[in-house]
Structure 1
């Protein structure tokens, strides 16, 4: 195993994808404890990353400016100051290839699915999990470099301040220690469970007197408005677009149960070891479902009957795929979680 001194990790977005790569960060630190590890990230996702001892520094890369070659010179100057002997591209797109090229690293490698010409910049590393879960696929890069991955862990940022900030708001809204988090949105619409089905599920949950907290990005605001209107319960609280990433993670960490389709907060909930119900159809559960490493006591994955086992974007474009996961099926999973985790 080569003794790398300065390592650049490139995974600039998005929330779920960064969460998927955190076990690789953990493995890098365990295998190269003395190395300086720098992470290239888009500014909005910087809060998701842990600090020391896992990451020594972060380089914020402005996505829009990557379109303009003059910015490459600025980026090159910043990255060359670290004298990288290894860059690890876990994004595999043209924009990450630009960062790898500007890094000046003496060895440039990347996860097997290098696309958009990125394989012209970095060497592909492919391991035995090339058709498996994303976490294991990313870990294959460490294995290919000669490292070991005996422990899979998700190093996360400190949520202390965010927990204090959200606790005050939630207490004022009458939310105690027991509540369910629901995320109705996703990065692309075909991954979402239909709102009428969310409406029926949330009516059932809140009818039991169980508080439900809605979370999501500002773009999901209309979904929150719809559900507030259609589920007129004092037990439903809409925090969509009203939290930072760390505040959202703090709320998830305190939840008794998390429910969503394949979206970033789902993978944050898994990293935080919260009981969860994951709804899959248009993306392949074999590839993208919450990683469990053999311990899946807290995870229930419900897959649409019309989905393919190896489905991944953009192979499944059926707008009815997610609709095939019925409310009764999710309700049964919810009731199982209540009995199992006693909330």
Structure 2
């Protein structure tokens, strides 16, 4: 008997793809014998390829705001040849809708979101109304599967990534028991000032907990580490990572991972590392990693939400999180 073939689609950022993992687990529970494929942006594919319960990971190049079907057409042809029985698009944006239609699964499930081109809903054979924005993104993804009567499983709501291979270089970079602080995000408005990171590191070190600092690979993000070095010349700042694999292996060694709302926060949580998330313009109630090992702090009120990359307010929402709050919470977590 032919196996059921299912394709799950999510064209968003890396953290969003990790958040989708619980829903993929629910799909796997519903159809344990099915052939499960996943289609994501190219940068997210490596995080799924190590999961042995996913049969195949497909990737597309992704440029924000552009569909670029010409660049994706070879993969679309290959996907069409797979003759999927079902496809589910967890986002419901224009790109996901068009690709769902072109791939041509017999049953195409998608989100009926209010924005986008008028013909988008005709790209799916079944649509589910988008869940309200007060719910956690894990729950919002799982809600889409209600279109196929897939039951929501609360016990599956914590994403789990495959453990990285042992790395002698990661062992040298981050000795056991070290607290790892990640300073940067793709949006400056989500970042804590370097002076506060310096103060937090000094307080944790004084309490007997070694601390190391890292940031993303871009020049702007690496410049935050230069600011930190000026604020605290003794800070243990890790060099720019040569590969993503080395970064993941290093994160996996951390005793506690502290960062603003960014993909590495979800990577750490997915690896089973306790996390402390610092949230300002984004709501922790929607985006903070779930599970008892993870905690978060939420900043104050501010009108900088949305797609703005920077905040021009004199008192930014993230500034509402004090060093004392972060240090107290981190020490409580380390004491456990």
Same fold (TM over 0.5): yes
Task: After superposing the two structures, state which structure 1 stretch, 84-93 or 204-213, moved more.
Answer: 204-213
Q: Counterpart in 1 of 2:299? A: 304
Please show how residues 241-320 of structure 1 align to structure 2 within 5 Å: 241-292=240-291, 296=292, 298-306=293-301, 313-314=306-307, 319=313, 320=316
Q: Which runs of 5+ in 2 are unaligned?
A: none
Q: Counterpart in 1 of 2:4? A: 5
Q: Is structure 2 residue 323 aligned with structure 1 residue 327? A: yes
Size of the alignment, in residue pairs? 324
Do 1:38 and 1:57's aligned partners in 2 also have CA atoms closer than 8 Å?
yes
Q: Counterpart in 1 of 2:188? A: 189
Task: After superposing the two structures, state which structure 1 stretch, 311-320 or 44-53, moved more.
Answer: 311-320
Deviation at 1:335, TM superposition (A): 2.2
User: Matched residues in 2 for 1:232 and 1:52: separation?
Assistant: 41
CA displacement, residues 288-339 of structure 1 (integer Å, 9 cap, x when unaligned)? 12223xxx2x22221113269xx96359956411111111211221222232
User: Matched residues in 2 for 1:210 and 1:283: separation?
Assistant: 29
CA displacement, residues 114-163 of structure 1 (integer Å, 9 cap, x when unaligned)? 74335452343247776310011111122331122333152423412xx3
CA displacement, residues 9-66 of structure 1 (integer Å, 9 cap, x when unaligned)? 1124422111100011111111111221111122222111144542111222122596
Task: After superposing the two structures, state which structure 1 stretch, 107-116 or 197-206, moved more.
Answer: 107-116
Residues 307 and 279 of structure 1, relative CA distance in 2, 3 Å threshold = farther
User: Matched residues in 1 for 2:35 and 2:260: separation?
Assistant: 36
Deviation at 1:169, TM superposition (A): 3.1
User: Matched residues in 1 for 2:160 and 2:207: separation?
Assistant: 36
Q: Counterpart in 2 of 1:229? A: 230
Q: Counterpart in 2 of 1:105? A: 105
User: Matched residues in 1 for 2:130 and 2:93: separation?
Assistant: 19
User: Matched residues in 1 for 2:230 and 2:311: separation?
Assistant: 29
User: Matched residues in 2 for 1:25 and 1:243: separation?
Assistant: 31
Find 1:148's aligned residue among 138, 151, 165.
Answer: 151
User: Matched residues in 1 for 2:242 and 2:111: separation?
Assistant: 32
User: Matched residues in 2 for 1:318 and 1:110: separation?
Assistant: 37
CA displacement, residues 207-254 of structure 1 (integer Å, 9 cap, x when unaligned)? 445332223321221112221232222x61324x41533332332222
User: Matched residues in 2 for 1:197 and 1:291: separation?
Assistant: 25
Do 1:181 and 1:257's aligned partners in 2 also have CA atoms closer than 8 Å?
yes
3-state secondary structure, aligned to 1:236:
coil
Q: Which runs of 5+ in 1 are unaligned?
A: none
Residues 53 and 115 of structure 1, relative CA distance in 2, 3 Å threshold = farther
Residues 129 and 140 of structure 1, relative CA distance in 2, 3 Å threshold = farther
3-state secondary structure, aligned to 2:266:
helix
User: Matched residues in 2 for 1:265 and 1:291: separation?
Assistant: 14
User: Matched residues in 2 for 1:289 and 1:158: separation?
Assistant: 21
Could you tell me the TM-score, scaled by structure 1's length?
0.83
Q: Counterpart in 2 of 1:121? A: 123
Do 2:167 and 2:246's aligned partners in 1 also have CA atoms closer than 8 Å?
no
CA displacement, residues 61-80 of structure 1 (integer Å, 9 cap, x when unaligned)? 12259644434542331111
Deviation at 1:260, TM superposition (A): 1.0
Q: Counterpart in 2 of 1:93? A: 93
3-state secondary structure, aligned to 1:49:
helix
Could you tell me the TM-score, scaled by structure 2's length?
0.85
Tell me the C-alpha RMSD between the 2 structures: 2.9
